[in-house]
Homo-oligomer: A and B are copies of this chain.
Amino acid sequence: MSRRGELLEFAVLGLLHESPMHGYELRKRLNTALGAFRALSYGSLYPCLRDLLGKGWIFEASGGGSDVLSGSRRARIVYELTADGKERFQDMAESAGPTSWDDEEFDVHFAFFARTKSEVRLRILEGRRSRLEERLANIRTASARNRERMDLYTAALQRHGEESAEREVRWLEELISAERRGIAVPLTTNPPA
């Protein structure tokens, strides 16, 4: 029992793998860095951390880091990965199942691609692409079938969704061909001025 948020656990382990952190900051990173978890609440995060402790994948490293905690605010609990935790993270990053192309799971996997084998990266990128192409096909047959009886706004929404999916497919295509050529990551566009 207690299959509490596999995906959330994966994301938390991944962020802690980069550097030790306390809960409050973890939440902020989950909300911004990762596309998934736009609005994750503490009511999910803290119980998740409790479970990870129980499993022995993280431990409390409260006062020890390079973090400046001179002015004492409320005692922050800094979490760090155990050896087991690092192993679990690698297992999760290395495994690509049919759920890995779901919107949220894809985002999380992608965010940790730097610690994923190239071969697995490729499988996930391709899986994601065919998932989106499936979606596109559905939208297209649906809008062909209902052409007449659909009002302008519904059509506009569908068209917008179609365009977004098309853009993501192109993005994936770039990433896939770069991956095949052994290049790390193509920068999507020129950086903001």
Q: A residues touching B (Cβ–Cβ < 8 Å)?
A: 18-19, 28-29, 31-35, 38, 107, 110-114, 135, 138-139, 142-143, 146, 149-161, 163-164, 167-168, 171, 175, 184-185, 187-189
Contact = CB atoms under 8 A, between A and B. Distances in A.
Contacts of A142: 28-29, 32-33
29 contacts: A19-B149, A29-B142, A31-B138, A32-B138, A32-B139, A32-B142, A33-B142, A33-B150, A33-B154, A33-B157, A34-B157, A35-B157, A35-B158, A35-B161, A110-B156, A110-B157, A111-B154, A111-B157, A112-B153, A114-B152, A152-B184, A156-B187, A156-B188, A159-B187, A159-B189, A160-B188, A163-B189, A164-B167, A167-B167
Contacts of A146: 33
Nearest to A152: B185
Given A35-B160, A114-B154, A163-B188, 8 more contacts: A19-B149, A31-B138, A32-B143, A33-B157, A110-B157, A114-B151, A156-B187, A164-B167
A114 B153 contact: yes
Query: For chain A, what secondary structure do more than half of its interface residues adopt (helix, strand, loop), or is it mixed?
Result: helix
A119 B17 CA distance: 49
Number of copies: 2
Contact of A188 (B32, B139, B159, B188): B159
A110 B153 contact: yes
A104 to B, nearest CB: 12
Given A32-B138, A138-B32, A185 B153 contact: yes
A113 to B, nearest CB: 4
A167 B38 CA distance: 18
Contact of A164 (B31, B164, B175): B164
